[in-house]
Amino acid sequence: MTSYRPPEGRPTSPHLPFGDRRDAPWYGQSIISVRQFQPADLDYVFGVAHEMREMVGRVGTFDLLKGKLLANLFYEPSTRTASSFMAAMQRLGGTVIPINEVRYSSVSKGESLPDTIRTLECYADCIVLRHPQMGAAAEAAAVARKPIINAGDGVGEHPTQALLDLFTIAIELGRYSPRTGLDLSGLTITLLGDLKYGRTVHSLSRLLAPMDVRLNFVSPPTLRMPEHLMTELATGTARTTELDALDPVLADSDVLYVTRVQKERFEDVALYESLKHAFVIDRQTLTRARDTMIVMHPFPRVGEIAYDVDPDPRAAYFRQMENGMYVRMALLAMVLGKA
């Protein structure tokens, strides 16, 4: 594994097309890592996402990004991230170049990532990139004149997912309002499953690290959080505990964030098979949890949450997906200088 560390601060694009608000705080910037977001930025993102939700409820589609074009460049499979970015752009009146099957593009002829990025930015105003290699989004941002949004870089980060996850926690538990801002203090958040390869939990725990929360990391011993990440989290205020069983922390959890064992990151299929159902959440599990606890999952689920959990009001994962669109609308409006 490379020793890539996400960049501090915000990479800024020098590109300033006519008609955009140059004073918008995220204008022209790439979103590569959650490390770019300070607590005050979260209030800002959530404020815009909240407005987006209201607007979609009221009018469905509106023209904030009319005339803007997004390139959706996916080198790995995606359902929610790709389609919610497309929906977000279209709800805002913009259009999308979808490149979901890189094998039908010049990538299959051996084109390099920098060349593909520099090509797409000739046509689009912003590029959403998912790539199997950690650090790929930062590499793309280094050559790009237009904003790059990291939609998952291997086992590295998935910043937009973490933002929508945090938005969901805050909304579901009544910890955010545009008037009072965000306050998660005192919450216990339990992250469960493949913490080694799961990029969503890497980004989410980084985002939670500077807050007054308790983070329980529950996984099979071989799928623990990477050591470098635990060291990094230790510099924050969040109290962290690593466990290999859920029961000791279930009853005290406000959030149970479940992840899939990341099959595509395993070289040893037998090892994957032995771990894939190490934890299964079902209706029975929830009898031992708080009535107010929420269950989240970035999806796809492949057996970690039984279908009998779905009717339980604590199952928040479909609401979480919907929030993804509002948060991605907010991020697109921000980097394109309209929020």
**Residues 286 and 314 sit within 8 Å (Cβ to Cβ):** yes
Burial of 5-32, coded b for 16+ CB within 10 Å and e otherwise, reads: ebbeebbebeeeeeebeeebebbbbbbb
* Site track 287-306 with ligand ASP (rule: CB under 6 A), x = hit: -----------xx-------
Q: Which stretch binds ligand ASP (CB under 6 A): 22-30, 171-179, 207-215, 254-262?
A: 254-262
Q: Give the shortest CB-200-to-ligand ASP separation in angstroms.
A: 5
Q: Give the shortest CB-108-to-ligand ASP separation in angstroms.
A: 22
Q: Which stretch binds ligand ASP (CB under 6 A): 14-22, 96-104, 245-253, 258-266?
A: 258-266
The torsion angles phi and psi of 112, rounded to 5 degrees, stand at -80, 160
Neighbours of 183 (CB within 10 A): 16
Q: Give the shortest CB-239-to-ligand ASP separation in angstroms.
A: 26
CA 175 from centre of chain: 19
161: which 2 tokens?
Answer: 């997912």
Cα–Cα distance measured from residue 166 to residue 174, given in angstroms and rounded to the nearest whole number = 12
DSSP state of 44: H
**Residues 231 and 256 sit within 8 Å (Cβ to Cβ):** no
Nearer to ligand ASP, 73 or 182 (CB): 73
Tell me whether the omega of the peptide bond preceding residue 300 falls within 30 degrees of 0, making it cis: yes
User: With binding defined as CB under 6 A, does residue 260 bind ligand ASP?
Assistant: yes
Among 30, 200, 203, 323, binds ligand ASP (CB under 6 A): 200
Nearer to ligand ASP, 36 or 262 (CB): 262
Q: Give the shortest CB-259-to-ligand ASP separation in angstroms.
A: 6
Neighbours of 156 (CB within 10 A): 25
Burial of 251-267, coded b for 16+ CB within 10 Å and e otherwise, reads: eebbbbbbbbbbeebbe
Q: Give the shortest CB-194-to-ligand ASP separation in angstroms.
A: 8
Q: Give the shortest CB-196-to-ligand ASP separation in angstroms.
A: 12
User: With binding defined as CB under 6 A, does residue 6 bind ligand ASP?
Assistant: no
* Site track 136-175 with ligand ASP (rule: CB under 6 A), x = hit: ----------------x-----x-----------------
Among 175, 199, 206, 276, binds ligand ASP (CB under 6 A): 199
**Residues engaged in binding ligand ASP (CB under 6 A):** 152, 158, 199-200, 259-260, 262, 298-299
